[in-house]
Amino acid sequence: MLKIYGAPHSRTFRVIWLANDINLPYQHVPVTHDVSDAQCKQPWFLALNPNGRIPVIDDDGFVIWESAAINLYLAEKYKGPLYPNSLQGRGRICNGHSLFQIMSSHHSSICITIEYFIHPSNETLSLQTRRKKNCESRL
């Protein structure tokens, strides 16, 4: 069974979210990271990730860390509905992950990312179209 190491209020949330979205059974192993005696700095955890950072997964003996890498791995391996079949679609996922990595360092940016790129409303799409035309007119 997939083991997800980390704290839900950290970037581990991304991995837990994906696992839930694709109905992937997992065991969550809580790991402290923001305290002086953090578990992520203890030898047992450093054996999983020498960087001493969360999240980490163990997928039947395959250990990998960094939330974007984990999510790309899980999405492709388990072929959930979120994983595209085309090369172009996979390129968009990498592009989105890069953007998400940058923006999610700020909590409020997550809302912007979701509204603009994941589930844009008609109003958002209209605003994006106006901004695009405005930018193109300046070129």
What residue ranges define each of the domains in the chain, with the CATH number in brackets?
2-84 (3.40.30.10)
> Residue 4's closest CA among 41, 32, 38, 30?
30
Q: Give CA separation, 99 vs 6, 93, 102, in Å.
A: 22, 10, 5
Quick check: pTM over 0.75? no
> What backbone torsions phi and psi does residue 79 show, to the nearest 5 degrees?
45, 50
What distance in Å separates the CA atoms of residue 84 and residue 25, rounded to the nearest whole number? 21
**Strand 62-65 to strand 56-59: parallel, antiparallel, or no bridges (unpaired)?**
antiparallel
- Per-residue pLDDT of the chain (139 residues), as tens digits, is 999 999 999 999 999 999 998 899 999 999 999 888 899 999 999 999 999 999 999 999 999 999 888 988 998 898 877 677 788 877 777 776 665 555 555 555 555 555 555 555 565 556 556 655 655 555 4
What distance in Å separates the CA atoms of residue 87 and residue 62, rounded to the nearest whole number? 25
CB neighbours of residue 60 within 10 Å: 7
Residue 29, pLDDT score: 97
